[in-house]
């Protein structure tokens, strides 16, 4: 198993340590065909990129791409902000970005008070090792599904990281809408048993590092270990062994 491209990395625009150039340089050294810089979305209270910074992010990606001769995609890891599936990337932002990731994070501005539970509620239960609360699992599942239905999201990041949702139902929706599920090199966020059931849905995957520092660019060893353990068919993973994914956001933008 060889990674073709890493579609989830951060820089100091959103809590990462190294520059766009350094991330791209490392990706090039590792023999990757492309790298995406995917900053945390605007509603992330501490780590989100600000809209006023996007033009300079674009300029840095372009400069790195030209100097290093490797595609450097301008990306966002948007925050899912409500059970109704609201996200913090608007259609007016679309022209500035090449790739649209989305995930649930805790310290963000939610749309309504009642939406906070998908972040804070899940975080507290995870932190204190509390058992699943069915109404919260339902709300989190709905948030993921509604986000995928209502927005041209390329990749759902780290499904069920500090969140409990019905991963199989989320996967079915991703399969139907052409959104990839990410298998993260940071940590296996789905149990082996859960991933096995997710695989049965027919959803497609990408493997990413979620690197916040240059030493982790392209580091997907943990994901590869789980893929082998569970026996995920390799032809269902679209950014390994020379293959590149077909992303829905780029396709959507062609018809805007
Ligand atoms: Zn994330
Ligand atoms: Zn991330």
Give the Å distance between the CA of 77 and the centre of ligand 1: 7
Give the Å distance between the CA of 207 and the centre of ligand 1: 14
Q: Is the pLDDT of residue 107 over 90?
A: no
What mean pLDDT is predicted for residues 183-208?
97
Residue bearing tokens 């790298």:
35
- Mean pLDDT (the chain) is 97
Per-residue model confidence (pLDDT) at position 248: 98
Smallest-distance ligand from the CA of 102:
1
Give the Å distance between the CA of 69 and the centre of ligand 1: 27
H-helix or E-strand spanning residue 168 = helix 167-177
**Global pTM value:** 0.97
Across the chain, the runs of DSSP E, i.e. the strands, are 5-9, 34-40, 72-79, 99-103, 155-156, 180-184, 205-208
Q: Is the pLDDT of residue 245 over 90?
A: yes
Alpha helices (H) along 69-166: 120-127, 134-150
Question: In this structure, what CATH number is given to the domain that contains residue 228?
Answer: 3.20.20.140
Smallest-distance ligand from the CA of 104:
1
Give the Å distance between the CA of 77 and the centre of ligand 2: 6
What is the domain extent for residue 194?
A: 5-254
Residue bearing tokens 């759902």:
156
- Total domains in the chain come to 1
């Amino acid at each position: 198993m060889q990674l073709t491209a890493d579609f989830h990395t951060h820089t100091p625009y959103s809590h990462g340590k190294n520059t766009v150039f350094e991330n791209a340089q490392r990706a090039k050294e590792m023999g990757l065909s492309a790298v995406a810089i995917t900053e945390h979305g605007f509603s992330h209270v501490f780590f989100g990129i600000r809209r006023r910074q996007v033009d300079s992010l674009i300029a840095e990606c372009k400069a790195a791409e030209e100097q290093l001769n490797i595609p450097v995609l301008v990306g966002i890891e948007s925050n899912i902000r409500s059970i109704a599936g609201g996200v913090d990337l608007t259609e007016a932002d679309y022209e500035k970005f090449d790739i649209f990731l989305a995930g649930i994070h805790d310290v963000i501005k939610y749309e309504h008070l009642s939406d906070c539970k998908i972040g804070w509620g899940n975080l507290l239960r995870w932190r204190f090792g509390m058992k699943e609360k069915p109404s919260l699992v339902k709300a989190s599942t709905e948030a993921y599904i509604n986000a995928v239905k209502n927005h041209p999201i390329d990749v759902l990041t780290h499904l069920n990281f500090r969140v409990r949702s019905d991963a199989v139902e989320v996967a079915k929706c991703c399969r139907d809408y052409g959104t990839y599920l990410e298998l993260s090199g940071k940590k296996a966020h789905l149990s082996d048993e859960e991933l096995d059931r997710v695989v049965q849905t027919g959803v497609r995957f990408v493997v990413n590092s979620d690197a916040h520092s240059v030493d982790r660019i392209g580091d997907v060893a943990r994901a590869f270990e789980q893929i082998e353990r569970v026996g995920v068919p390799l032809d269902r993973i679209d950014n390994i062994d020379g293959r590149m994914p077909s992303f829905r956001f780029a396709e959507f933008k062609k018809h805007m």
